Amino acid sequence: MDSARFAQLREDVETFVRGRGADLGHQIEETGQVGPEVWSELRQRGYLRLAAPEAYGGFGLPFTQYLELLALFSHLHGSMRVMVHVANGLWRSLDQAATPAQRDRFVIPFVQGELRATFTLTEPNSGSGTDIKTTARRDGDAYVVNGEKWMIIFSDVTDYFLLFCRLEGTTGGEGTLALLVPRDAPGLEIRPMPPAMGITGTGHGHLVLCDCRVPVENRLGAEGDGLKVAFAGFLDPSRTAIGMTCVGLAERALELAVEHAKARVTFGKPLAERPTIQMWLAEMATDIAAARQLVLYAGRAFEQGEPSAALASMAKLQGTEMLQRVTDKALQIFGGIGYFKGEMERIYRDARMQRFEEGTSETQKMTIARALLRGGR
């Protein structure tokens, strides 16, 4: 996208984030619901298809331009931030192994917001990845799937679960499958989970699959390629993107902390005139700037066709740990009033989720250590 069009788009996003988007965020916190109007507003504005190719009906933004906008969207309520992030990332996972028929049936409708899908990996009784236990066996033109998944986001509204399982009798990296399971598949029960600490209003589900029949034509990639669909080509940009969502949310926390420090007077002076508060603000700004540069470094590597799993993990790790430090200091600057319901308190809760999303900090460190010990960059 040329720089004039991008500048206009950036301005539109900024106006939305400060105005209508902020109002929708308040509405979500007050009602505890993400109403259908939130989805349709994001969809109509085109914010759910910024990163997808123009050939699929997306805006085709280069990755680093998308990251710049994502930082702005991350000033929004956590539920809206996660909608933008998932819609602009998951199409890659669907697309990389799709046949032309599957591209028409699933990928393009997903990009255009006519179909919703959600990433379905985590299980109650195993680690995420080669440890997955949910099984499938072929029976004619269907797979018969048994197992459980939980904490699955958008379970209340999704049309398909992009579900990762394994052929019966296989272990480790062998025999994994990626299946698009329709929400009305026979044998699938979707149990709503309790509300989460943050991202208020977003529905999470515990799926129980009991002889659940899924058509073979809903399999993405070959038998054995399930984890490749889950991770390859999708996870690196997605982890980098989370690094940028941390930068955006931390920027909003800093903005609020600066406003509060200027307005709040104790012992005859605004907090902003106290050296302790100034040191904290300076540390927060420096922490955010450093994380932003690492995220952009990883983003440029991906954009230039040189993705690095270790670099993406570093961007996510640095982002989430920075966000924890910055939101903690911002809350401290607010004093006790920041602990009461309000934007600062909401940011603190929303921020905590990011250390779990798409792999914990420990998972990121394992990825980085593996690359180091293999002698990679």
Ligand X SMILES: Cc1cc2nc3c(=O)[nH]c(=O)nc-3n(C[C@H](O)[C@H](O)[C@H](O)COP(=O)(O)OP(=O)(O)OC[C@H]3O[C@@H](n4cnc5c(N)ncnc54)[C@H](O)[C@@H]3O)c2cc1C
Catalytic residues: 358
- CA 35, 153, 185, 56 torsion-angle sign: positive
Q: Which region among 23-31, 87-95, 116-124, 236-244 touches ligand X (by CB under 6 A)?
A: 116-124
- State which of positions 4-43 bind ligand X (CB under 6 A): none
Bridge-based pairing of strands 176-182 and 160-167 is: antiparallel
**Are the beta carbons of 123 and 147 closer than 8 angstroms?**
yes
Q: Give strand pairing partners of 176.
A: 166
Residue 196 binds ligand X, judged by CB under 6 A: yes
Do the beta carbons of residue 124 and residue 148 sit within 8 Å?
yes
Q: Is 176 a binder of ligand X (CB under 6 A)? A: no
Give yes or no for residue 118 binding ligand X (CB under 6 A): yes
Residue closer to ligand X, measured from CB, 6 or 356:
356
Residue 96 contacts ligand X per CB under 6 A: no
The reply on whether position 362 binds ligand X by CB under 6 A is yes
Cβ-defined contacts of 221-225 (< 8 Å, 24+): 221/96, 221/97, 221/178, 222/97, 223/167, 223/175, 223/177, 224/174, 224/175, 224/176, 224/177, 225/97, 225/176, 225/177, 225/178
Question: Would you count residue 56 as binding ligand X (CB under 6 A)?
Answer: no
Question: Which CB, 239 or 292, lies closer to ligand X?
Answer: 239
* Closer Cβ to ligand X, 363 or 367, answer by number: 363
Nearest distance from C-beta of residue 236 to ligand X, angstroms:
16
The answer to whether 125 and 80 are in contact (CB under 8 A) is: no
Residue 203 found at the interface with ligand X (CB under 6 A): no
3-state secondary structure of 209: strand
> Taking CB under 6 A as the criterion, which residues in 144-173 touch ligand X?
151-153
Q: Is 121 in the site for ligand X (CB under 6 A)?
A: yes
Tell me phi and psi for residue 164, to 5 degrees. Answer: -105, 130
Size of the residue set binding ligand X (CB under 6 A): 19
Residues in contact with ligand X by CB under 6 A are 118-122, 127-128, 151-153, 196, 199, 204, 353, 356, 359-360, 362-363
